[in-house]
């Protein structure tokens, strides 16, 4: 790069600043639309329900992603009570716990109060071909 060829110009800075303002406005508007769509699905199929609606050439879908995570302190304590030390590392080994559950070495109710479940909503809008 030659010294005269500065990639940073007033025009680029102004354009960048304008894009950042528009980006924030767009993100705010998208968040409002997502809230409206989630409110619609909450009232029509329930808070954790997945749903789909087609209006004209657009399909609106809500999928539900479920994430379960073992509470470290409670799970380690419970596994120690059950004498299942091989399932404990410095934190609960979720892979080994799932295997122990599948093999019947551990019952799901043995870990009551140890699993936290997180639900997240995913909105997708696609144009369908008509």
pLDDT for the residue numbered 34 = 95
Residue-number span of the structural domain to which 29 is assigned:
10-127
Q: What is the DSSP letter of 128?
A: P
Give the residue-averaged pLDDT of 7-17: 86
The verdict on residue 83 lying in a domain is yes
Confidence of residue 90 (pLDDT cuts 50, 70, 90): low
The verdict on residue 5 lying in a domain is no
The verdict on residue 107 lying in a domain is yes
Nearest to 120 by CA among 48, 45, 53: 48
Give the residue-averaged pLDDT of 21-49: 95
* In the predicted structure, residue 61 carries a pLDDT above the cut 80: yes
Give the residue-averaged pLDDT of 57-62: 95
The verdict on residue 110 lying in a domain is yes
Judge contact between 121 and 62, C-beta under 8 A. Answer: yes
Overall number of domains in the chain: 1
The span from the CA of 104 to the CA of 94, in Å, is 15
Give the residue-averaged pLDDT of 88-109: 87
| Coil/strand/helix, residue 108 | helix
3-state DSSP percent of the chain in helix, strand and coil, to 5: 50, 25, 25
The span from the CA of 82 to the CA of 43, in Å, is 43
Q: Are strands 51-55 and 58-70 parallel, antiparallel or unpaired?
A: antiparallel
* In the predicted structure, residue 124 carries a pLDDT above the cut 90: no
Strand ranges for the chain from DSSP E: 51-55, 58-70, 115-127
pLDDT for the residue numbered 119 = 87
pLDDT for the residue numbered 18 = 87
pLDDT for the residue numbered 3 = 63
The verdict on residue 3 lying in a domain is no
């Amino acid at each position: 790069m030659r010294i005269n060829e500065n990639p940073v110009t007033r025009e680029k800075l102004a354009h960048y600043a304008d894009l950042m303002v528009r980006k924030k406005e767009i993100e705010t508007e998208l968040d409002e639309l997502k809230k409206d769509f989630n409110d619609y699905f909450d009232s029509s199929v329930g808070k954790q329900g997945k749903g789909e609606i087609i209006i004209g050439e657009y399909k609106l879908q809500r999928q539900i992603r479920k994430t379960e995570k073992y509470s470290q302190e409670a799970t380690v304590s419970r596994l120690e009570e059950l004498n299942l030390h091989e399932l404990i590392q410095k934190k609960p080994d979720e892979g080994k716990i799932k295997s122990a559950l599948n093999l019947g070495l551990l019952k799901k109710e043995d870990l009551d109060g140890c699993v936290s479940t997180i639900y997240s909503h995913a909105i997708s809008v696609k144009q369908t071909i008509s």
